Structure 1
Amino acid sequence: MTTESLYPFLHAGSADRAELLADVARSTREKVAEIERLRAEVLAAEAEALAGCATAMAERFARGGRLYAFGNGGSSTDALAVASLCLDPGSGRRPLPAVALPGDVATLTALANDVGFDVVFARPLAAAGRPEDIAFGLSTSGGSANVLRGLAAAHERGMLTVGLAGYSGGEMAEAAERGELDHLFVMPSASVHRIQEAQTTVYQVLWELVQSRL
């Protein structure tokens, strides 16, 4: 996907300044409306499931569990945000133990170099994961091999597994159908940008609900 296909008005050489600014404003309004619709759709469809997932997560935290968040690219940044929410929740909130696996660069690069990139999340979870812990995997496509292997390793350890995906859920949806993924939330969009924005809302809502249950 090129910048011209995303923002054609930036490549219209004949447009004057007023036309360009009008096109930018229109594009911005359309994108804001699009993410608002997607967020509302996801929250309306998943309200009960989000409540159930938050209850299960709160139960694990109450038993002394730790959350492990992981993903690739933009989803690795979201994994860091999820862990930060848990560790530094703000005044009046309960800090919760959490680790963002993409933040452990030494382990990630060692495994990628010595074994393979597919195991960079599975190996740490297999080594440190406990039944009271939570594995929180993010993937826009739902088909990231290393995220799927991480969730599978966590499932084998008896951990609570939570997945966030986009499009139609991809292989994450297949894992959920097989009973190998405890909770899955799918952002039904073909736009990576809108998927990641909606995922941000989902994990913020989960965090709020977990805090309320604790």
Structure 2
Amino acid sequence: MTEQRMHQHFVDSADLIYQSAPLLSRALDDAVQTLTACITGGGKVLTWGDGAAAALAGYLAARLVSRFERERPGLAALQLGGNVVMRAALADSEDPGQVCARPLHALGQPGDVLVLLGASAVGAVGQAAMTAAHERDMSVVAITGAVSAELAWQLRETDVHVAVPSDRAARVIEVQLLVLHGLLDGLDAQLLGDDEESQT
């Protein structure tokens, strides 16, 4: 019984990935263009992950600063909320919604991009982060699960929403990792040119 259950995880994940490909490709391309414009314009990428997606936000920032599959100069990126002391200080003295918004006000500049990740709905912290990013004339790339209706009224024309078509957090996170790999590969292709070897 356990073996069959484990097998089903692979089947469910593969099904969602297959279903997501045609639905997310356009939004993912838009996100690549947004990040490329930011980087080539001298801006930086600030990442925020809500809940379990915080690990993905840290992973994206790390891959931008270091490398993905090819050598390249480091790109300006920083995970917001990754500093435990700062996060604790802000949570202790501020409205919880300001845990990400306050660092955004301090660090964000016009032309920067906020990559906002959430495995399901983006809560008060994520909504406050989007508001802060817009106040700093930043674009937002929101990568969420299907339950994200609260984002619709906040999105601007310069923003991109990559909505994984599932409300099951574990499956969403699996697809979000693939989305991040697509973003990183697309950005490298824009900055360095196509590299067929990295596709094999």
State TM-score, norm by structure 2. Answer: 0.88
Which structure 2 residues correspond to residues 109-128 of structure 1 after superposition, within 5 A?
109-128=88-107
C-alpha deviation, 1:81, in angstroms: 0.6
1:202 paired residue among 167, 179, 182: 179
Give the number of equivalent residue pairs: 190
Structure with max Cα Rg: 1
C-alpha deviation, 1:45, in angstroms: 1.0
Percent of pairs identical after alignment? 26
55 and 118 in structure 1: CA distance in 2 versus 1, 3 angstrom threshold: same
108 and 61 in structure 1: CA distance in 2 versus 1, 3 angstrom threshold: same
1:142 paired residue among 73, 98, 121: 121
Give the structure 1 partner of residue 165 of structure 2.
188
Unmatched runs of 5 consecutive residues or more in structure 2: 192-200
Partner AA of 1:118 in structure 2 = G
Give the structure 2 partner of residue 43 of structure 1.
21
Is 1:129 aligned to residue 108 of structure 2?
Answer: yes
* 3-state SS, counterpart of residue 47 of structure 2: strand
Give the structure 2 partner of residue 18 of structure 1.
none
Structure 1 distance, partners of 2:63, 2:21, is 20
Structure 2 distance, partners of 1:66, 1:85, is 13
Is 1:97 aligned to residue 76 of structure 2?
Answer: yes
1:71 paired residue among 49, 53, 76: 49
Unmatched runs of 5 consecutive residues or more in structure 1: 1-22
- Contact 2:51/2:118, CA 8 A, preserved across alignment: no
Partner AA of 1:63 in structure 2 = G
1:172 paired residue among 151, 155, 159: 151
Deviations 1:97-145 (A, max 9, x none): 1111121222211111011221011011111101121101111222311
Partner AA of 1:193 in structure 2 = A
State TM-score, norm by structure 1. Answer: 0.83
Give the structure 2 partner of residue 32 of structure 1.
10
Partner AA of 2:33 in structure 1 = T
